[in-house]
Structure 1
Amino acid sequence: MDKFRMIFQFLQSNQESFMNGICGIMALASAQMYSAFDFNCPCLPRYNQAYGLGILLVPPFILFLLGFVLNNNISMLAEEWRRPQGQRGKDQAVLRYMFCSMAQRAMIAPAVWVSVTLLDGKCITCAFCTSVPVETLGNASHPSLSQGDMKRVLARIPCKEIYDGQELIANEVAIRYLRCISQALGWCFVLLMTTLAFLVRSLRPCFTQAAFLKSRYWSHYIDIERKLFDETCAEHARSFAKVCIQQFFEGMSTDLAAARCH
């Protein structure tokens, strides 16, 4: 237990390392959650797209908000933004830099979720199975099929056990086609995120370092302030507990002396 307490105190004393660790854990957790998620496409024309795109976009939004919630600097940023102007002016550049820094860390887990989801291909297959080009990949001249019936048949592509349109288009052909598009989008997304991260890291020295240095200063200041506050609280609690214990034993001695007299 003492080892865990020491590790936690070390992470608290180094805010940047703590947040980097939290971001890494959230990224691994997002990938693990997707692998453990039981994906069940409804295979209905009006629900497939909502379900597939919902799984693709809603969890990343939740993870993005969770990244802000777990960041200890968000409260300080809100307090600094809402405080009265007073004699100390607000440096908008520092506030923007801190917000962008928190947003970059919060986007790691959502980016991992979107990347894993696109590379897996199930969401895109479910969402856009009714948009498969039957004219190119299948038999568009299949008799006795209206447009509505064709949509109903194509909506069952993700569900092999109930798919009944092999004469229209082979199930494996449609799934391979959609998964190929999904994986291409996934690798493009990974390339885009990697390029953006490279540009942010490489172009930062080209701009002024004042906001960056001020942000680092306030980050170190907050870490030291919290550490000193915890130490002062512990010392004050120890001294106050000592006074209370002394009063307790003094009162006990008085009661014992009174009992002996009787």
Structure 2
Amino acid sequence: MDKFRMIFQFLQSNQESFLNGLCGILALASAQMYSAFEFNCPCLPGYNVLYGLGVMSVPPLVLFLLGFVLNNNVSVLAEECRRPEGLRAKEPGVLRYMFCSMAQRALIAPLIWLSVTLLDGKCFTCAFSESLEPRRLGLNLSGALPAQPQLRRLLASVPCPDIFPQQSALSREGAVRYLRCLSQALGWCFILMMTFLAFLVRAMRPCFTQVAFLKTKYWSHYIDIERKLFEEMCTEHAKSFAKICIQQFFEGFQNEMVRGYSRCQMPKFHDFETGEEQEKLFGITDSRNMNKLLRNWHRCKPPLNVNTGVKDDAQQNGDVNPVPNKCPPPRRENIVFYSKV
């Protein structure tokens, strides 16, 4: 259990590296899922498009949502969007930065799925086999080709070599190669476009909005760290609260035993441990006050100013530029000892 706890604490302290590694694992998993996926085109008119486009769009959407689900910052973003302003105003730039950072990580696995799908060409061939024109293949045998319904059924059976008629004027091998060539061309263009777009975002953003970028990045980190520290403080308070409650329960049971056996002298608990736990409670010793504290934390978070007390005193005194309080100079005290000897 200690090893698992150490691993969990390491992942919490290196959350950004952990999320990047998780996105990489999702990307590899998406490629492995596609290689293990058994693709069976229905080869029926009207169904090929639905099946091919469904395979190309539904799994990326699932992987995109899964990337958001596995990201812990989603709850932080939702809480920050839904909370009342109170003494702390909301920053739309920080919220946009948090959402964009999560979306960038969540898009890695869907983009790899689309890239692998287009480079493989099976889904594209199944989806667009019906829209293939025989003239693209160099066939001018208009009289040898069947009528429009039969031609549509023939084109729909191009991805399936088992049901494609052998005595057809249309070359199945040529049609498959043509569609796969288009699919691979679109795949490489898609990869090039995504790579160039990522390069532009990474290279050009600091050049124009460096100050705004640093501010949004700082406050997004602050929101995440503040949430973690608040959870740690609540955990420590809950530990102390539970320890004192259990200790009081045992002490009450001990008093009952002493009343029943008056001759027995039961050992008493030490009070210094209770005093240390009382200090960790910060004066919140009942459930009503604790619920009030949690309610106030959600409704009215403290302002982002650690010198609020100094500022308020200065405003009351009419000082425009308040000077922070300085420590008083040390006083020299003389101590005299009297002896009765």
Tell me which amino acid in the other structure corresponds to 1:16: E
Task: Return the alpha-carbon distance in structure 1 between the equivalents of residues 143 and 168 of structure 2.
Answer: 8
Name the residue aligned to 1:185. Answer: 186
Q: How does 1:147-162 map onto structure 2 within 5 Å? A: 147-162=148-163
Task: Return the alpha-carbon distance in structure 1 between the equivalents of residues 93 and 235 of structure 2.
Answer: 36
> In the alignment, is the contact (CA less than 8 A) between 1:12 and 1:223 conserved in 2?
no
Name the residue aligned to 1:243. Answer: 244
Q: Which moved more, 1:32-41 or 1:250-259?
A: 250-259
Give aligned pairs, total: 262
The gaps in structure 1 that reach 5 residues or longer are: none
Rg larger in 1 or in 2?
2
Tell me which amino acid in the other structure corresponds to 2:30: S
Q: Which moved more, 1:33-42 or 1:177-186?
A: 33-42
Task: Return the alpha-carbon distance in structure 1 between the equivalents of residues 84 and 243 of structure 2.
Answer: 41
Q: Give the structure-2-normalised TM-score.
A: 0.68
Matched, 1:170 2:171: yes
Name the residue aligned to 2:30. Answer: 30
SS in 1 for 2:40: coil
SS in 1 for 2:130: helix
Name the residue aligned to 2:321. Answer: none
SS in 2 for 1:153: helix
Bigger fraction of residues in helix: 1
Tell me which amino acid in the other structure corresponds to 1:67: G
Identity within the alignment, %: 68
Q: CA RMSD in A?
A: 2.6
- 1:210, distance to aligned residue in structure 2 (A): 2.7
Q: Which moved more, 1:32-41 or 1:134-143?
A: 134-143
- Of structures 1 and 2, the one with the larger relative CO (CA 8 A, separation 6+) is 1
The gaps in structure 2 that reach 5 residues or longer are: 263-341
> In the alignment, is the contact (CA less than 8 A) between 1:34 and 1:113 conserved in 2?
yes
> In the alignment, is the contact (CA less than 8 A) between 2:130 and 2:152 conserved in 1?
yes
Q: How does 1:56-95 map onto structure 2 within 5 Å? A: 56-84=56-84, 88-95=88-95
Task: Return the alpha-carbon distance in structure 1 between the equivalents of residues 236 and 94 of structure 2.
Answer: 34
Task: Return the alpha-carbon distance in structure 2 between the equivalents of residues 57 and 70 of structure 1.
Answer: 20
Task: Return the alpha-carbon distance in structure 2 between the equivalents of residues 166 and 5 of structure 1.
Answer: 68
Name the residue aligned to 1:215. Answer: 216
Matched, 1:206 2:176: no
> In the alignment, is the contact (CA less than 8 A) between 1:30 and 1:109 conserved in 2?
yes
> In the alignment, is the contact (CA less than 8 A) between 1:61 and 1:110 conserved in 2?
yes
Tell me which amino acid in the other structure corresponds to 1:178: L
